Structure 1
Amino acid sequence: MTSTSRRRVMMITALLAAAPALAACGAGVDANTSDAYAPTEANVLIDGGGSAKIYGRNGIKVAQAFLLGPASGAQIAAGGSVPLYLSMVNYGTAADQLEGVAVSPEVATSVKASGAISVPPGQLVNTGRPSQVILEGTKKPLYGGESLRLTLKFAKAGDIQMNVPVVTHSREYSTLPAAPAASATPAPTTSESATPAPDPSADS
């Protein structure tokens, strides 16, 4: 086989390998290709070693994961709430479900979910609009740009830990519903206003 033929075979193999992932991303009315995208901590979601590395963990691929924070220039005060937006694909052969999300006490007080989310094989599933998963009682003010450590709890895939970024409620994320209890306030400025000196004539 000539070097030109070998390169052509390699290119075709790569395209065939990518086809299932591309098809999955375009499936359904809430296809990931039409949604805002935020990167996930990819290294956490890679199993295997060497040439056998596979994107995903325990049969679950998380194509999209972010926490929706405040508008640009604002903050969500400590004790506030933020929605978690996820897009997931089950590349196993059996149906699974996201049963809950856990956080450490240093991140938030609790996570509110409206119920388990079914993740059938080969289908793109998201947490909805508004999201069905809300972090409540955040321990620190959020401005956007932070990452919070979460644990996704699946019935079959088990626990999957991720660092999930906080994005500002602006630009491509501006149409997504915020958490109902989110309290966004203007971010404090770093400059301090001088206190005027007392007027001596005020006491006369």
Structure 2
Amino acid sequence: MLSARPRRLMTASLLLAAGLSLSACGTGGDAQTNAVYQPAIGANLRSGDVQLYNALLVSNDDDTYTLSAGLLNKTKQPEQLTGASITPLDGGAPATAEPSSTVEIPSDRLLTIGSEGEIVLSASDLVAGKYVKLTLTFAGAGDVSIEAPVVERGEEGVYDAVAETEGGAAAEEKAAEEEAAAGPNEVASQGAEGAAE
């Protein structure tokens, strides 16, 4: 039978070994605190001259999709977005678009696009919840590609800040074309209705 002293020594050794082995469980190269945390739905590309943050396509009612993304220019020169294209990963038809107005990103700055409808793509076969290959073309950096999700605008108002139509000069041209097509009588009656309200 063991005396009290060796028993205490053995108990202390077991407790020390258990404490050391259990405390090592949360450390190492795969610890959660060492992983990049991405709380948003959009996709991120954290390398290259132009980096993308929270890139996603928001569905509109008319088979168009507005690009919402943060564009970070890591160069010492201003950069310009010149175009965008999407290709559904499940084999649907690709679509392309040019910015509705000039999108210039100052050097070493983040520019968020989407609220002005800078890039609106037409595509009839995209499905919310699926991913597309999104390629943005820049004047200096060339093509930057990422797999980005397609999301529904939804009723909760989560994407209310994302424009549903093209902004800038393209939207003004489209409004002028619609006004010209409507004819002077219809435009005048709309103006009278607005004044009556």
TM range (shorter): 0.5 to 0.7
CA contact (8 A) 2:114 2:163 kept: no
Q: For 1:164, what is the secondary structure of its paired residue?
A: strand
Equivalent position of 2:85 in the other structure: 102
Equivalent position of 2:71 in the other structure: 88
**Residues of 1 paired with 2:162 and 2:85: CA distance?**
23
CA contact (8 A) 1:108 1:139 kept: no
CA contact (8 A) 1:107 1:148 kept: no
**Residues of 2 paired with 1:88 and 1:167: CA distance?**
19
Equivalent position of 2:115 in the other structure: 129
CA contact (8 A) 2:87 2:132 kept: no
Which stretches of structure 1, 4 residues or more, deviate above 3 A after TM superposition? Answer: 103-110
Kindly, what percent of the aligned residue pairs are identical? 22
Q: Spell out, residue by residue over 1:109-130, the C-alpha distance to the aligned partner (whole angstroms, 9 max, x if none).
A: 4324213311111211122413
Equivalent position of 2:52 in the other structure: 62
TM, length-normalised to structure 2? 0.54
Q: Give the paired residue count.
A: 124
Q: Which runs of 5+ in 1 are unaligned?
A: 1-35, 46-54, 71-75, 181-204
Q: For 1:65, what is the secondary structure of its paired residue?
A: strand
Q: Which of the pair has more CA radius of gyration?
A: 2
- 139, 143, 147: which one pairs with 1:163? 147
Sort the Cα spacing of 1:130 and 1:108 in 2 relative to 1 into closer, same or farther, 3 A. Answer: farther
- Which is helix-richer, 1 or 2? 2
Q: Quote how far apart the aligned CAs of 1:83 are.
A: 0.8
CA contact (8 A) 1:102 1:111 kept: yes
Q: For 1:132, what is the secondary structure of its paired residue?
A: coil
Equivalent position of 1:150 in the other structure: 134
**Residues of 1 paired with 2:145 and 2:53: CA distance?**
14
Q: For 1:140, what is the secondary structure of its paired residue?
A: coil
**Residues of 1 paired with 2:77 and 2:125: CA distance?**
39
CA contact (8 A) 1:103 1:111 kept: no
Q: For 1:113, what is the secondary structure of its paired residue?
A: coil
Q: For 2:54, what is the secondary structure of its paired residue?
A: strand
TM, length-normalised to structure 1? 0.52
Equivalent position of 2:100 in the other structure: 114
Is 1:38 aligned to 2:21, yes or no? no
Superposed CA RMSD: 2.8
Is 1:140 aligned to 2:125, yes or no? yes
CA contact (8 A) 1:145 1:167 kept: yes
**Residues of 1 paired with 2:69 and 2:146: CA distance?**
12
